[in-house]
Amino acid sequence: MSLTQIQRMPTGCPGLDHVLAGGFPTGRSTLLSGTAGSGKTVLALQFLHDGVRDYDQRGVFLTFEERPEQLRANAASLGFDIAGMEEQGTWAFVDASYHPDRDEQQVGPFDFGALLLRLRHAVESVGATRVALDSVGAVFTRYQDATVVRRELMRVTDLLRELGVTAIVTSERAEEYGQIGRHGVEEFVCDNVLVLRNALEQETRRRTIEVLKMRGVDHLTGEFPFTIVPQSGIVVITLENTALNAPSADER
């Protein structure tokens, strides 16, 4: 009996790959859920950036809220030269952010169909294997009904699977603990779920990352602390990389 196993795509961030036990499941989407400022966008940028830089894998970043120019500036503070990659044709933005003058009439249900066509086009033009959607929360606020959220999210992950890309889909949550997604269904629909936390303990904040679920693969469980380092990005702290940096017993 020889069964085909699910492949992994290393992210490029050593600590994170350790927690993921190798990387994201190739060809599948991962939901990245977190409160405001928890680091969702930073992680999404870094996943694509490192793909281009370290693995020659191109990226498409679909943004629902921040404008591409803002994302470029924010990424610059992490040392990521997105503009440069855009010029090289290894990175493309799909801009689905809200433009008051242009999108004035947009109150009804969001037209995901048209957007997914634009996404498909960008992925094919760039030849992308990594994709980020940041954040579907901006769109899902419109839906009262969990059934609609469920269906639309399924539609999105379905297209991403069809495109054969490995994707990060960010989503919002209002509190650090309790229900994962805002509508209480997001975490069930997706194959893989990561949670970013920025918890207030006493008077200090503590950032952690956790793999809540990854269907069909092994992974580390529980919360792992991380920091966001200027000119670098997210650095996940695991026993392994702590060990690497610590002086070995012999040296003492």
Ligand X SMILES: Nc1ncnc2c1ncn2[C@@H]1O[C@H](COP(=O)(O)OP(=O)(O)OP(=O)(O)O)[C@@H](O)[C@H]1O
Q: What is the β-pairing status of strands 192-201 and 166-172?
A: unpaired
Q: E-assigned strands of 64-221?
A: 91-95, 128-134, 166-172, 192-201, 204-214
Question: Of these partners, Mg ion, ligand X, a copy of itself, none, which one is at the site of residue 34 (CB under 5 to 8 Å by kind)?
Answer: ligand X
Question: Of these partners, Mg ion, a copy of itself, ligand X, none, which one is at the site of residue 164 (CB under 5 to 8 Å by kind)?
Answer: none
Element (H, E) at 32: strand 29-34
Q: Is 193 helix (H, G, I), strand (E, B) or coil?
A: strand
Q: Is 230 helix (H, G, I), strand (E, B) or coil?
A: coil
Decide: is 41 part of the binding site for Mg ion (CB under 5 A). yes
DSSP symbol at 247: P
Q: What is the β-pairing status of strands 223-229 and 233-236?
A: antiparallel
With contacts defined by CB under 6 A, name the span among 40-48, 123-131, 150-158, 175-183 that binds ligand X: 40-48
With contacts defined by CB under 8 A, name the span among 53-61, 142-150, 233-241, 242-250 that binds a copy of itself: 142-150
Hey, what are 204's tokens?
A: 């200090």
Hey, what are 41's tokens?
A: 């966008």
Q: Which of 150, 123, 12, 115 is nearest to 61 (CA)?
A: 123
Shortest Å distance, C-beta 171 to ligand X: 9
Question: Of these partners, a copy of itself, Mg ion, ligand X, none, which one is at the site of residue 81 (CB under 5 to 8 Å by kind)?
Answer: a copy of itself
Which of 83, 148, 199, 228 is the binder for ligand X (CB under 6 A)? Answer: 228
Decide: is 218 part of the binding site for ligand X (CB under 6 A). yes
- Sorted by sequence, the CB contacts under 8 Å of residue 192 that are 6+ apart come out as 24, 25, 28, 29, 30, 31, 211, 213, 214, 215
Shortest Å distance, C-beta 172 to ligand X: 6
**Residues of span 152-191 touching a copy of itself by CB under 8 A:** 154-155, 158-159, 172, 174-175, 177-180, 182, 184-185, 187-189, 191
Shortest Å distance, C-beta 222 to a copy of itself: 4
Which of 188, 220, 240, 244 is the binder for ligand X (CB under 6 A)? Answer: 188
**Residues of span 44-103 touching ligand X by CB under 6 A:** 77-78
Binding site for Mg ion (CB under 5 A): 40-41
The footprint of ligand X (CB under 6 A) covers: 34, 36-42, 77-78, 172, 188, 213-219, 228, 230
